A = this chain, B = another copy of it.
Amino acid sequence: MGQYVAPLRDMQFVLHELLKVEDEFKQLPKHAEIDKDIINQVLEEGGKFTSQVLFPLNHSGDREGCQLDKETHVVKTPTGFKEAYQQYVEAGWPALSCDPEFGGQGLPIVINNSFYEMLNSSNQAWTMYPGLSHGAYECLHEHGTPEQKAMYLPKLVSGEWTGTMCLTEPHCGTDLGLLRTKAEPQADGSYKITGGKIFISAGEHEMSSNILHLVLARLPEAPSGTKGISLFLVPKYIPNADGSVGPRNNIFCGAIEEKMGIHGNSTCQMNLDGATGWLIGEPNKGLNAMFVMMNAARLGVGMQSLGLTEVAYQNAVTYAKDRLQMRSLTGPKAPEKAADPIIVHPDVRRMLLTARAYAEGGRAFSSYVALQIDRELNHPDEQVRKDAADEVALLTPIIKAFLTDNGWIATSEAMQVYGGHGFISEWGMEQYVRDARINMIYEGTNTIQSLDLLGRKILMDNGAKLRKFGDKVKAFVEENGTNEALSEFITPLGDIGDKVGKLTMEIGMKAFQNPDEVGAAAVPYLRVVGHMVFAYFFAQMAKIALEKQDSGDNFYKAKLATARFYFARLLPETAMLIRQARAGSANLMALEADLF
């Protein structure tokens, strides 16, 4: 039933050799003491926990799924999930990057990020139970009152309680302005909340002793649309003043969705019937408060697909080395066997390397973004913090959409390596494909991410944030332009950088005339920018690998081969994407709706 071994060496390469996080942490007073040894130890322990405890529950969790007892409203999660969660809590994992003031270990986000990759490689459906707690933690940490923080944060940090996001309703997902759930103010300062929410991941379970639902709802006479939405904390059990669990609140799971994948996670319809809740942040500014959680969740979704990409790759490689089928076209490679292992075939390697390159590129990119979050949160210089925040804002939709599209491609290619066995459940590969599919949809579909990138993050500030990132790319190109050994990477990197600049200008001009041009270009545009980012990181990684290729350490040889594959085989997708992004809106808008 497959395998997962945390890619510690590659994670360490990214953190220590590419991003040099130890040096970066020295500039962040809060993390100045964090050194390589601490980081490596956390990664090692994380690798053990995820491979040994969570991975063995992944396939069985998929087969078993979750069951709702409609009388008691209790959801039974797959066998072993609850016990694994206890081990997770006992080992202190929920606290990893949380504020020591509330019981956290105060480690940098970038370390937590690597751990999240492992969690998702080993078991995405399980990871979604604690996964949303961290977003709830961040949201309360930023927008909660001191009393709310004191009451709830320690419980989230310890993992004793978990969190959810309750946004979607049957008639509104993307368009939250349409939401109808109502909140009635009570004399004691609380609210009675009534409405129906759907698609609530980890909405009900018995893994933790309480669940904190963060619920979007409307106050009486609130303005219509998104400007009339407020955020409420609705605990499953209303806590007593001493923090112990009190009476059951009137928020219940009405049904569990049958779905394509992530069967181990309970995707719940939640009914609120005068449930008690408390306002978080300001009235009518709920979306603003929720965005903290949504941004965290978007990065988290990117990490889900990165995790799936890695584990699918690992398994496909093992299969490709074991499975004997046909001879190499250049003559037998294993003449003593009945046939050659299929890893001799060029197209099998193409499939494997596609997954490998998307894993390595995604790891470098997402770790970089996580490090920028640490800088945004902790750098003493305000300008540095602002620059980091701008970069995070720019790159978040790319992490979400590019990594999840890549995860879909990579898991599907990895499954294809297995031939017919890939389609059979017991081999475990088809689950990765099914699980990967949701990541392109939830927390804002990839179309929404693309519109966020192009419309909001780029065109709304006339490309300023993109230019700042582009300047980093240019600087790297300039710095290394005369390094002949690097030219195979630098030349296409400079080229894609120029093309992104030009394409952005073009679309910006067209958008002035016709706003539909943004929608028509956004999806291919995001992938073009994603490739520019990947090319930037692969070029940097290739530079390090070239410097160390004679070290006798094959790791660098492999890194270089993967980078070459990326530039030869994956970056050329931009030739298609740029044409599509330029194709304009007329070919999309011409057909009248009736004629579809």
- Report Cα–Cα, A259/B415, bound state, in Å: 13
Selected contact of A516 from candidates B330, B572, B588, B590, CB within 8 Å: B330
B569 touches A580 (CB 8 A): yes
* A241 contacts across to B, CB distance below 8 A: none
B450 touches A423 (CB 8 A): no
Number of chain A interface residues as a range: 35 or more
With an 8 A cutoff between CB atoms, is A175 at the interface?
yes
With an 8 A cutoff between CB atoms, is A485 at the interface?
no
With an 8 A cutoff between CB atoms, is A227 at the interface?
no
- Report Cα–Cα, A451/B593, bound state, in Å: 41
Listed residue (A261, A353, A588) with the most chain B CB atoms within 10 angstroms of its CB: A588
Question: Knowing A416-B445, A433-B437 touch, does A353 contact B588 (C-beta < 8 A)?
Answer: yes
* A243 contacts across to B, CB distance below 8 A: none
Question: Knowing A329-B516, A580-B572 touch, does A585 contact B438 (C-beta < 8 A)?
Answer: no
With an 8 A cutoff between CB atoms, is A546 at the interface?
no
A561 touches B441 (CB 8 A): no
A350 touches B588 (CB 8 A): yes
* A562 contacts across to B, CB distance below 8 A: 591
With an 8 A cutoff between CB atoms, is A349 at the interface?
yes
A416 touches B433 (CB 8 A): no
* A585 contacts across to B, CB distance below 8 A: 346
With an 8 A cutoff between CB atoms, is A317 at the interface?
yes
CB distance from A470 to the nearest CB of B (A): 23
With an 8 A cutoff between CB atoms, is A456 at the interface?
no
Q: Would you list which residues of chain A between 561 and 596 have a CB under 8 Å from chain B?
A: 561-562, 564-565, 568-569, 572-577, 579-580, 583-585, 587-591, 593-596
- Report Cα–Cα, A522/B562, bound state, in Å: 20
A564's nearest neighbour on chain B, judged by CB, is B587
B175 touches A326 (CB 8 A): yes
- Report Cα–Cα, A324/B425, bound state, in Å: 37
B260 touches A430 (CB 8 A): yes
Interface segment, A78-86, A299-307, A335-343?
A: A335-343
- Report Cα–Cα, A84/B400, bound state, in Å: 45
B441 touches A416 (CB 8 A): yes
With an 8 A cutoff between CB atoms, is A183 at the interface?
no
B447 touches A347 (CB 8 A): yes
A430 touches B259 (CB 8 A): yes
With an 8 A cutoff between CB atoms, is A472 at the interface?
no
Selected contact of A174 from candidates B320, B326, B574, CB within 8 Å: B326
B339 touches A178 (CB 8 A): yes
Selected contact of A330 from candidates B330, B450, B514, CB within 8 Å: B514
With an 8 A cutoff between CB atoms, is A557 at the interface?
yes
Interface segment, A87-95, A102-110, A165-173, A188-196?
A: A165-173
With an 8 A cutoff between CB atoms, is A321 at the interface?
yes
With an 8 A cutoff between CB atoms, is A10 at the interface?
no
A596 touches B426 (CB 8 A): no
Listed residue (A348, A352, A564) with the most chain B CB atoms within 10 angstroms of its CB: A564
Interface string of A121-158 (1 = CB under 8 A from B): 00000000000000000000000000000000000000
A338 touches B587 (CB 8 A): no
A419 touches B174 (CB 8 A): yes
Question: Knowing A346-B585, A353-B591 touch, does A441 contact B426 (C-beta < 8 A)?
Answer: no
With an 8 A cutoff between CB atoms, is A29 at the interface?
no
- Report Cα–Cα, A332/B146, bound state, in Å: 43
A594's nearest neighbour on chain B, judged by CB, is B554
Selected contact of A437 from candidates B339, B423, B577, B588, CB within 8 Å: B423
Question: Knowing A587-B565, A588-B565 touch, does A346 contact B423 (C-beta < 8 A)?
Answer: no
- Report Cα–Cα, A520/B422, bound state, in Å: 22
Selected contact of A558 from candidates B174, B450, B595, CB within 8 Å: B595
CB distance from A512 to the nearest CB of B (A): 13
Q: Would you list which residues of chain A between 508 and 552 have a CB under 8 Å from chain B?
A: 514-516, 518-520, 522-523
* A564 contacts across to B, CB distance below 8 A: 587, 590
Selected contact of A425 from candidates B258, B430, B580, CB within 8 Å: B258
* A587 contacts across to B, CB distance below 8 A: 353, 561, 564-565, 568-569
CB distance from A81 to the nearest CB of B (A): 21
A445's nearest neighbour on chain B, judged by CB, is B419
A324 touches B522 (CB 8 A): no
Question: Knowing A425-B258, A564-B587, A593-B343 touch, does A168 contact B420 (C-beta < 8 A)?
Answer: yes
6 interchain pairs (CB within 8 A)? Answer: A259-B425, A260-B425, A329-B515, A344-B593, A347-B519, A408-B412
Q: A347-B522, A572-B579 are in contact. List 11 more A-B contacts (CB 8 A).
A: A174-B325, A175-B324, A178-B338, A260-B424, A260-B433, A416-B446, A423-B438, A557-B595, A564-B587, A568-B584, A569-B580
The 6 closest A-B pairs by CB, nearest first: A346-B519, A572-B579, A329-B515, A260-B430, A576-B576, A575-B575
Which residues of A are interface residues toward B (Cβ below 8 A)? Answer: 168, 171-175, 178, 198-199, 257-261, 317, 320-321, 324-326, 328-330, 338-339, 341, 343-350, 352-353, 356, 408, 412, 415-416, 419-420, 422-426, 430, 433-434, 437-438, 440-442, 445-447, 450-451, 514-516, 518-520, 522-523, 554, 557-558, 561-562, 564-565, 568-569, 572-577, 579-580, 583-585, 587-591, 593-596
